[in-house]
Structure 1
Amino acid sequence: MGTGTVRAEAADEAAERRREQRGWYFYDWACSVYSTSVLTVFLGPYLTSVAESAADADGFVHPLGVPVRAGSFFAYCVSASVILAVLLMPMAGAAADRTGRKKPLLAAAAYVGATATTGLFLLDGHRYLLGGVLLIVANASLAVSMVLYNSYLPQIAPPEERDAVSSRGWAFGYASGSLVLIANLVLFTAHGSFGVSETAAVRICLASAGLWWGAFTLVPLRRLRDRRAPKDATAAARGHGWRQLAATVRDMRHRPLTLAFLLAYLIYNDGIQTVISQASVYGSEELGLSQSTLITAVLMVQVLAVAGALGMGWLARRHGAKRTILGSLIAWAVTLGAGYFLPAGAPVGFFVLAGGIGLVLGGSQALSRSLFSHLVPPGKEAEYFSAYEMSDRGMSWLGPLLFGVTYQLTGSYRDAIVSLVVFFALGFVLLARVPVRRAISEAGNPVPDRI
């Protein structure tokens, strides 16, 4: 085979890889609107208000006969959604590795989640239970879809490209969230001009996130391609559910450094996910900020997160992903500590903290994903990323549970928010102890020059 032919084939392969990468970015573009508009901005305060309207004289609702303070209902639903995801994600990862057909599974998870999100339009009056059920279904579906989405990363990007590709994916997601939040802000603040009530405007914003999620999922489904599963991966993926997860963890015992990274990530990402889901509740209920102020603050987070994800990707290329992530965890802890002292009714301080979160939010998550991709043995991408997603979203019920219990016991959202500092402090200590270069080598992957 001539040199020219080899070069032509290499160029074709690179072009196909770039095409897949661009399609892959669009799933972040599709689903991040749910995380931003639904989970971070609108659903927490709105579902809490619906629960409060249905509460008894003591401020409690009684789902399935259990007394729950109305202000804790949203946090508990987030925890319940993650427990459901824990049951489903290992099965999705095992099926993807066993069959090599990730796209049909990704499509199923995405469209169940998009449908449940669109159904939030029906949330009004005293229907807090309907809102809780739809939240649980949508959140669990998002977690399952992310198992499959993340598992494509080692297949579409060689080691030297993964930090950049992962960061671009997050940047696409935050750009999408910013664009839709601008539309949400216009509708919400000028709802009278559009002939709808404030409540109807919120419901439209919630439902539009589901429609956006479903529409743009078509792009990755067209661009990404399934690959034949390796025989050893197929044999390893014959388990189901918890049995498959147990098999994955047993396999990780032969790679204890990969397991150590997952433990660190489980801890600090639990804090990140809880801040994302509970910040708007803290702003509205404890600080007394208006919905328009919260939307503006989250919009600032989205815009700065695009620059933050790309900027932290640049820092990782200069200083290594591990050091950059450790620096971001310090920033998270400082931000939460400052948030405890914010005065009520003063949006300026909230905007300052939102800006700090935006600069580290996307980068800390993007670099964690790309760093883990180096620790995955070849041929076990979906299996290992199901365990990763258990850490990313699947085990992120501890933070909302701690937040909800702290509020239930103290009646103070300030105590609830500052309690999350423990996740970032402990995660920092655990991650600092992981020798990532040796972990990559033990996983059977080439070690980048800087990691």
Structure 2
Amino acid sequence: MRAPTHTQERTMAVTGTPTPVPAGKRERTGWYFYDWANSAFSTTVITVFLGPFLTSVTKLAAGCTIGDGAPDCHASVHPLGITIAAGSFFPYLVSLSVLLTVFVLPVMGAVADRAPRKKPLLAAAAFLGAGATIAMAFVTGDRYLLGGILFLIANIAFGASVVVYNSFLPQLAGPDDRDKISSRGWAIGYLGGGVLLLLNLIAVTLLSEDGNTQRTLDLARWSMVSAGIWWAAFTLFPLLWLREHPGTHSTGQRGNVLTDGFRQLGHTLKAMRAYPLTLAFLGAYLIYNDGIQTVISLASQFGTEELHLEQGTLIITILIVQFLAFGGALLLGALANRIGARTTILIALALWLLVVIAAFWLPAEAPLPFMLLGAGIGLVMGGSQALSRSLFSQLIPAGREGEYYGFYEISDKGTSWLGPLFFGLIFQITNSYRLGIVSLVVFFVLGGVLLALVPLRRAITAAGNTPPKLI
């Protein structure tokens, strides 16, 4: 990297903040690679294997018989003395993980903004999450509690790593290029997740045995382990190629970064009241994205438990979603360049609404309609999330990227809490996954209405940023 010029050195001496150096192709590629790396966890683990796997392990712990032809079992487990229906354990676990991230991720963001180097934080969170995922190899028999604890660790670490990762985005591109950069990263992530899932599909197809439930569980467990290895291995590329971008609050700071991070978080919570329009967008996003993430994280459980589809069907459907999401993210990114990010997101939310309504009417034991619905999800999933990420980057005061993305990441890539909570409660009350899925309509309607009401150009200006030509 070139040494700073005399003018840059003088600016650093006066302000304490280095003049940004434009990101090059190598650095952006390194940034894209972390989406490629971590999408293996969100796709292979959260979206496909973990829900059905952990539900089966929980049913074993409850004394149920699992496998083809086994009678429906509505027994319960009792973690920490709390009675929970075996079928509700995983949705409740997802909700618990997000509640815990409420405390962890904003602190991680504050620490990232004050730390002189962000990449060690990215490495620590990514390798912790990948290690917990690899440790799923030990979730055998009826060890549902071990599986639940490892998932909590992996999911929280995953979110923490993405907070740091997202905080690099404002330094990688100007206001008019962020939609394109964010959409490209998301698209590459879906492609990476799809490649690993395809490899796992081949393994499951070649090694599974009809009627051998234990073999099915073993293949699911080792598929999740492969996601942890993939995540750890490809994280090395962003660690090598990304440059450090210290926040405006990091240079010249002394003392304990973690303690300062907690202190800075308190200041941020008070300061956020000065940006009510940014908070309005964040509230809208957390609502509609909670619905998106609930569909993603519970789709496999819905397919196996309600529609009685085979695991191979689920994996093929998710592959369709992944590879169409690659094109969908790029397509919606291009559309946003023509009509603006917000209008494009609102169109995507309308399509999500149709997806949820259609899911309620899907026939059981019918793979083709489920796959067609997956194709619809793929076309809108990546774009709606990528554009939300880039749009939010416009609403963040300079130097506060990590802190604000800490709150943003509370609902992202397979993590949500209200949706799974409703889903689990409705199943426990009605024993119907269909009623649970249709309850998500409210998230898309309410979130879309709130998004439409936010005056985004005024919000961007109020945050001290320059609005792009199209919003």
Please give the range of the TM-score, normalised by the shorter of the 2 chains: over 0.9
* 8 Å CA contact 2:168, 2:245 repeated in 1: no
Counterparts of 1:412 and 1:106 in 2: how far apart (Å)? 40
Structure 1 counterpart of 2:120: 104
Q: Deviations over 1:334-386 (max 9, x none)?
A: 11011001110111111111111000000000000000001111111111111
- Aligned partner of 1:38: which letter? V
* 8 Å CA contact 2:42, 2:413 repeated in 1: no
Runs of 4 or more consecutive aligned structure 1 residues displaced over 4 Å after TM superposition: 231-235, 237-246
- Aligned partner of 1:47: which letter? L
Structure 2 counterpart of 1:37: 44
Matches within 5 A, 1:137-156: 137-156=153-172
RMSD: 2.2
In the alignment, structure 1 residue 20 sits paired with structure 2 residue 27:
yes
Counterparts of 2:416 and 2:260 in 1: how far apart (Å)? 22
Structure 2 counterpart of 1:424: 444
* 8 Å CA contact 2:294, 2:415 repeated in 1: no
- Aligned partner of 1:260: which letter? A
The 3 A distance-change label for structure 1 pair 395 and 37 is: closer
Matches within 5 A, 1:268-287: 268-287=288-307
In the alignment, structure 1 residue 158 sits paired with structure 2 residue 174:
yes
In structure 2, list runs of 5 or more residues that go unmatched: 6-19, 65-73
Alignment TM-score, normalising by the size of structure 2: 0.89
SS at match of 2:469: coil
In the alignment, structure 1 residue 216 sits paired with structure 2 residue 234:
yes
SS at match of 2:409: helix
Q: How far is the alpha carbon of 1:248 from its aligned partner?
A: 2.2
Matches within 5 A, 1:291-310: 291-310=311-330
In the alignment, structure 1 residue 55 sits paired with structure 2 residue 65:
no
The 3 A distance-change label for structure 1 pair 402 and 341 is: same
Structure 2 counterpart of 1:84: 100
Q: How far is the alpha carbon of 1:431 from its aligned partner?
A: 0.2
Counterparts of 1:191 and 1:414 in 2: how far apart (Å)? 32
The 3 A distance-change label for structure 1 pair 435 and 251 is: same
- Aligned partner of 1:202: which letter? A
Structure 1 counterpart of 2:215: 197
Structure 2 counterpart of 1:405: 425
The 3 A distance-change label for structure 1 pair 240 and 84 is: farther
Structure 1 counterpart of 2:53: 46
Counterparts of 1:66 and 1:328 in 2: how far apart (Å)? 39
Counterparts of 1:115 and 1:34 in 2: how far apart (Å)? 11
Q: How far is the alpha carbon of 1:88 from its aligned partner?
A: 1.3
- Aligned partner of 2:48: which letter? V
Q: How far is the alpha carbon of 1:249 from its aligned partner?
A: 3.2
Counterparts of 2:89 and 2:317 in 1: how far apart (Å)? 24
* 8 Å CA contact 1:25, 1:172 repeated in 2: yes
SS at match of 2:362: coil
Matches within 5 A, 1:218-257: 218-231=236-249, 244-257=264-277
In the alignment, structure 1 residue 68 sits paired with structure 2 residue 84:
yes
Alignment TM-score, normalising by the size of structure 1: 0.93
* 8 Å CA contact 2:116, 2:251 repeated in 1: no
* 8 Å CA contact 1:78, 1:397 repeated in 2: yes
The 3 A distance-change label for structure 1 pair 149 and 337 is: same
Counterparts of 1:289 and 1:443 in 2: how far apart (Å)? 48
SS at match of 1:253: helix
Identity %: 56
Counterparts of 2:219 and 2:248 in 1: how far apart (Å)? 49
The 3 A distance-change label for structure 1 pair 227 and 13 is: closer
1:258 pairs, out of 256, 271, 278, with 278
Counterparts of 2:415 and 2:453 in 1: how far apart (Å)? 21
Structure 1 counterpart of 2:131: 115
Structure 2 counterpart of 1:9: none
* 8 Å CA contact 1:83, 1:397 repeated in 2: yes
SS at match of 1:390: coil
In the alignment, structure 1 residue 373 sits paired with structure 2 residue 388:
no
Deviates more, 1:392-401 or 1:182-191: 392-401
More helix by share: 1
In the alignment, structure 1 residue 384 sits paired with structure 2 residue 391:
no
Counterparts of 2:261 and 2:373 in 1: how far apart (Å)? 40
In structure 1, list runs of 5 or more residues that go unmatched: 6-11
Counterparts of 2:250 and 2:203 in 1: how far apart (Å)? 53
In the alignment, structure 1 residue 349 sits paired with structure 2 residue 401:
no
In the alignment, structure 1 residue 184 sits paired with structure 2 residue 191:
no
- Aligned partner of 2:244: which letter? D
